[in-house]
Amino acid sequence: MTKEPDITINGITLKTNQAMTIRVAIENFDLDLRENGLGDDGNGKVICEGYRRCINEIRSLIFR
- CB count within 10 Å of CB 7 equals 19
d(CA 60, CA 27): 13
Confidence (pLDDT) at 2: 66
Confidence (pLDDT) at 64: 81
Confidence (pLDDT) at 3: 85
pTM, entire model: 0.86
Are 39 and 7 in contact, with CB atoms under 8 Å apart? Answer: no
